[in-house]
Structure 1
Amino acid sequence: MMSALYAALAAALACWPAWPGLMSYDSLFAWEEARSGVETMLWPPMHAYLFWISRELGAGAWGLFVFQAFLLFFAAALCANLLMRRALWAAAALAAFAAAFVYVPELLGTLMAQWRDVTTTSFALAGLAAWLVAGRRRSTVPLAVAGVLFAVAAALRYNAVLLLVLIAPLMVWRPYLQPAPPPRARLVAAAALSLGLALAWGSTHWRLPDFAPLPSAHNFAGTQEFDLIGISACADKDELPTGLTLGWPISPRQIRRAYDPRHLQLAFRAVPGQPRILESDAGGEVERIWPRAVRHQFGCYLAHRTAVFVQQMGLAKGEVFYPVHLQIDANPFGLKVAHPQALARVGGYVRTRAPELWRRPFWLYLLAAAVVGALWLRRAPQALLFTGLLGGAFAYPALLFVAAPAADARYIFPSSVLAAWLIAAGTALILDRRAAQRADTLDALLAAATTKPVRVVSRAPGS
């Protein structure tokens, strides 16, 4: 009950200013597909299916908006309550978790939007909660549910699988978070994860409800074009296929004027006195040229990807890029912001505070690593579980280093939220001295991972 009340209050506070949910091109596209049918796999269609459910239930677009925010905080609260010995420390952890969304404005800015990044995070945390319930009850049913929830997260964002890079093996190895689990539990965990991820992959190839094959889409083409522009700007050499400028010659100096590591789309803006770079794969030329350009100009490729990553993690000297989308883009569906004055106030807070150094998202990752390290030093029973979560939090943005076509703050929302939860819950566990005395399944897990075997040396009588 406490978890539900906490989630309802947090969701209400986050959703009210942005009601019925801020929407940009891709979220409006998903809403359109929920009405007309899925036609492409360029964006994973699971978001459109969830919008369809919301629409069929009579809630419109706002139904998914409220659901994803509620599920995020409910799952976070349930996880904390399952891990904490005392309700007081669980409440402290949840207060700190909610405060992170205010202190790190990019989290709040993303939470107010109808972006798949929020929905991905919600289902990933719900999967973690289901797994912890399985460990508490020693039941295969919530274990199977965890696999399904993780699969939905992966179906929403291709790279969400990276959040599970250590969690999935740990879930199969210790399905009930203790040594020597029943073989049946391991089988259920492995089957649920395997089947779930297979269905997540299938959802991007065949649509519902007719299972018609979706047209293939080269989802990496935008990143490859971004890389070619960045490499050209760095190497002082035009590596762009002529199709990107409709055959007009473009000099390295002109490419540098168009290039901006914050977003691929910024390179397509009109720059007076020079050809315009088009958003295109140039008939497959981008894909063909990209490997050669990366191989021959690898130093510039790394420089470009590093520049994007610096923007992505909030490490740049200037403002944090795209911390909030303060509108619902023009649309034919009648969707518009219901509380513009409240949105202006909250949005103004996000925009003005986001550039402050101590509120940047990279701090979440550094602090999360420090907290998990402290749990190991304290020999806390939750240390191994938290290490698995930390691995996912770091693996998620690591893939973005090579795959992101932009440095939007929302792209790292799932891993940033996970890091914020690790900080809040881990700190509460460290401060709660009784947590080390907790006799539950996690104690046995840590003991199996950290206890050194005792070597027995026999001595002859009289020696």
Structure 2
Amino acid sequence: MIEISKQDKVSGLGTLLDIKGWVSYLRILAVVSMLLASFSMTFTDSLVIYAHKNKPDVLQVFFPINGTYSEENSQRSALTENKEHGINIPLPRTPVAHIRIDPANEAGELVINKIELKHLFGIETFMSNDLLARSKPLQMIDKLEVTPAGLLIHSTGNDPAFEFQLKRPSVASQLTKIGIISILLSLVMFLGAKILAGEKMLAARERVYVLAIPLLASLAVSALFYPGFMSYDTLHALRGARNGVTDSMWPPMVSYVWRAVDMVSFNPAAMHFSQVFLLLLSVFFVVFIFTKKISYAMAFLFIYLSIPVVLGTVAVIWKDVLMAAFFMAGFAVIVAMRVVVNRWVFIFLSLFAVFLIFLGVCSRHNAITGAVPLLFYFALIVCSRVLKKPSNIWLGAILLGSVLTGAVYVTKTQLDNYSLPNFEKLNNSTAVFMQSVRVLDVASASLCVGSNLFAEMAPNLSLAEINTGYDPRHINLSAGLLNRIGYDDRINKIWLSVALHHPICFLNNKFQITKYMVGANEGDQFLITSPSVDSNEYGYSLAKSSLRDSAVAYIVHASKLPFFKPWFLYLISIASFVYLIRISRLTAGYLTIYLSAVFYFAGLVIFGNAADARLLFYTTTGFSIITFISVFEFIKRKHK
């Protein structure tokens, strides 16, 4: 690793007198201040209104832009009987001293339990007495009354409205808080950097670059696609975070992570930024550690984000990006463990690495296959630290890796069965999911064989009907066929029989899925990105942006170029892997990234029920790193 000067190792009182140390601290302070200032510019204050009514209705909030209330400057949200469900209303960036709330669309009663004003560094809660003091009826409201349940509002018509006085923090107080937090946070980072310097991991200037460059890139991505594209999967995770997880059809962990992010900001851009920053920070650190050059890591980041299927995927708030971010972060921590000297730091990093990998496994149902090489590499690093004989190291790594893999998988499957934090039993749809995959396998095999292999379940189903109903691109596109076949245990017997009697045709569905995922199909790649925010009850939408539209146009058009197709990138990666073997430069770290990407690919093909080009995001990330590393090794050999 890169050596550091003796001055960088100074701590305690000596640090206070060290000019170079102060310069390093000021650099960190500048980066942190820039981060917080940028975050404050993208952060949107919001109101969370906890209200309920005995039947569904609509609540609408109006903002006085230029002193006038209008439909264009308002937010609507569904009102339900659930008193625990908060209605999130983003506030405009322009200062407003008051808002108008239309609590219903008909005469009757409703109760507002409380209203929370969420700003950058705090939450102000208004209970029933505060609500009464700040509220002024405007029309069709004849009574505002404090009750044990909250503020009771009695409306007399179909357009009730009252004005609510806000007291948002002043700009001066916000800037003061940013300054204080910047100083404290940068001090913690500076002291942490000194510890890492003692471990001889990074030089002072490099520590700043490793943080600042991915940070700026993440801010750019978040600003470009603000607030982040949101598909059905995204909104399902968001509803689980805010209303409670009710099923495990999609991984509950994504909702739990989002719930934690919501503690900082209800703006979905915060979740988008969090997953992108963790991902880019991790891959930047990994490439830098392998190449020992900031310029190479910067070059990789630029090339990586220019790949259409990568940029199109990071534009979306999506579980696949979150999973890749956790896996890459876990791998980055394992790489850092190799050079750590302090025992307690090593133990902390060990626990942190396993925790990150565990979060990655929980973020996608088939992620365990990609985690296996990571966990075994972790086991190898740990055993190399505590054991001496090579035979004991390898045996220990195999045993520890096996135990960790089993423990992570069992814990993940159990976690999917219960909602947190109340541990209520969830509806588990694993059996239905596997049966749907097997229906598609048998349908594709039927087309390959030329006869209906569903005879036991659907004897009257014709081959033409199977051909019409079967679509390997996505399970939703085959919904008609799945509904016709049905879901029961007989499909498991049929699936096994097809595997035994038609082994070649049995793999036809896997081949079709692979073809679409790697972009080897005719025409455009399937679902290269999802450039929209689906209709939702939170009022989230995309504002007009010519820059974003240009980026989407680039993603769509560049994805049609052969050298940007995943299959081409993967062939280059295979050649790069072979080259590393040939020149004897295939390290355990390189092998781990490559195998993790391959294993994840295999898991998607075996258990997948969709063929989006985005699904192989983690594989594309791993393969891209290997390709770049092989180019680096080639350049290094040329300059020897």
TM-score bracket, shorter-length normalisation: 0.7 to 0.9
2:439 corresponding residue in structure 1: 225
**Which one of 317, 320, 324 corresponds to residue 114 of structure 1?**
317
Shift in alpha-carbon separation, 1:283–1:44, aligned structure 2, 3 A: same
Q: Equivalent residue of 1:253, what SS? A: helix
**Which one of 562, 580, 585 corresponds to residue 357 of structure 1?**
562
1:412 corresponding residue in structure 2: 616
Asked if 1:57 is matched to 2:271, the reply is no
1:30-179 mapped onto 2 (5 Å cutoff): 30-85=237-292, 87=293, 90-102=294-306, 104-138=307-341, 139-175=346-382
Partners of 2:575 and 2:281 in 1: CA distance: 25
Shift in alpha-carbon separation, 1:416–1:56, aligned structure 2, 3 A: same
Q: Equivalent residue of 2:508, what SS? A: helix
1:446 corresponding residue in structure 2: none
1:273 corresponding residue in structure 2: none
Shift in alpha-carbon separation, 1:161–1:94, aligned structure 2, 3 A: farther
Deviation at 1:41, TM superposition (A): 1.4
Contact 1:369/1:390, CA 8 A, preserved across alignment: no
Cα deviation 1:45-81 (Å, max 9, x = unaligned)? 0001011112222243221110110011101111223
1:314 corresponding residue in structure 2: 519
1:264 corresponding residue in structure 2: 475
Contact 2:222/2:228, CA 8 A, preserved across alignment: yes
Q: Any gaps of 5 or more consecutive residues in structure 2?
A: 1-207
Q: What is the identity, as a one-letter code, of the residue corresponding to 1:214?
A: L
Q: Equivalent residue of 2:326, what SS? A: helix
Contact 2:473/2:516, CA 8 A, preserved across alignment: yes
1:201 corresponding residue in structure 2: 413
Partners of 1:418 and 1:113 in 2: CA distance: 19
Contact 2:372/2:405, CA 8 A, preserved across alignment: no
1:216 corresponding residue in structure 2: 428
Which portions of structure 1, spanning 4 or more consecutive aligned residues, are displaced by more than 4 angstroms? 176-184, 186-198, 240-244, 433-436
Q: Equivalent residue of 2:526, what SS? A: coil
Partners of 1:391 and 1:347 in 2: CA distance: 31
Deviation at 1:283, TM superposition (A): 4.3
Shift in alpha-carbon separation, 1:214–1:346, aligned structure 2, 3 A: same
1:23 corresponding residue in structure 2: 230
1:236 corresponding residue in structure 2: 450
Contact 2:367/2:603, CA 8 A, preserved across alignment: no
Q: What is the identity, as a one-letter code, of the residue corresponding to 1:251?
A: S
Greater CA radius of gyration, 1 or 2?
2
Cα deviation 1:417-455 (Å, max 9, x = unaligned)? 11112222342244235999xxxxxxxxxxxxxxxxxxx
Partners of 1:279 and 1:148 in 2: CA distance: 43
Partners of 1:348 and 1:284 in 2: CA distance: 46
Partners of 2:254 and 2:231 in 1: CA distance: 14
**Which one of 484, 500, 506 corresponds to residue 295 of structure 1?**
500
Most deviating of 26-35 and 396-405? 396-405
Asked if 1:255 is matched to 2:466, the reply is yes
Contact 1:167/1:392, CA 8 A, preserved across alignment: yes
Q: Equivalent residue of 1:220, what SS? A: helix
Contact 1:110/1:323, CA 8 A, preserved across alignment: yes
Partners of 1:68 and 1:337 in 2: CA distance: 19
Partners of 2:468 and 2:637 in 1: CA distance: 57
Deviation at 1:393, TM superposition (A): 1.2
Q: Any gaps of 5 or more consecutive residues in structure 1?
A: 270-275, 437-463
Q: Equivalent residue of 2:339, what SS? A: helix
Partners of 2:386 and 2:352 in 1: CA distance: 21
Shift in alpha-carbon separation, 1:176–1:292, aligned structure 2, 3 A: closer
1:389 corresponding residue in structure 2: 593
The TM-score normalised by the length of structure 1 is: 0.82
The TM-score normalised by the length of structure 2 is: 0.60
Q: What is the identity, as a one-letter code, of the residue corresponding to 1:22?
A: F
Deviation at 1:241, TM superposition (A): 7.5
Aligned residues: 422
Most deviating of 20-29 and 342-351? 342-351
Deviation at 1:31, TM superposition (A): 0.7
Contact 1:93/1:425, CA 8 A, preserved across alignment: no
Q: Equivalent residue of 2:523, what SS? A: coil
Deviation at 1:13, TM superposition (A): 2.6
Cα deviation 1:72-102 (Å, max 9, x = unaligned)? 11011112232333x3xx4224312431331
Q: Equivalent residue of 2:332, what SS? A: helix
Cα deviation 1:373-427 (Å, max 9, x = unaligned)? 33333333x6222112211111111222222112101211111111112222342
Contact 1:106/1:350, CA 8 A, preserved across alignment: yes
Shift in alpha-carbon separation, 1:209–1:179, aligned structure 2, 3 A: closer
Q: What is the identity, as a one-letter code, of the residue corresponding to 1:391?
A: L
Shift in alpha-carbon separation, 1:34–1:253, aligned structure 2, 3 A: same
**Which one of 573, 587, 590 corresponds to residue 368 of structure 1?**
573
Contact 1:80/1:94, CA 8 A, preserved across alignment: no
1:402 corresponding residue in structure 2: 606
1:342 corresponding residue in structure 2: 547
Shift in alpha-carbon separation, 1:189–1:343, aligned structure 2, 3 A: farther
1:443 corresponding residue in structure 2: none
Contact 2:518/2:613, CA 8 A, preserved across alignment: yes
User: In percent, how many aligned pairs have the same letter?
Assistant: 21
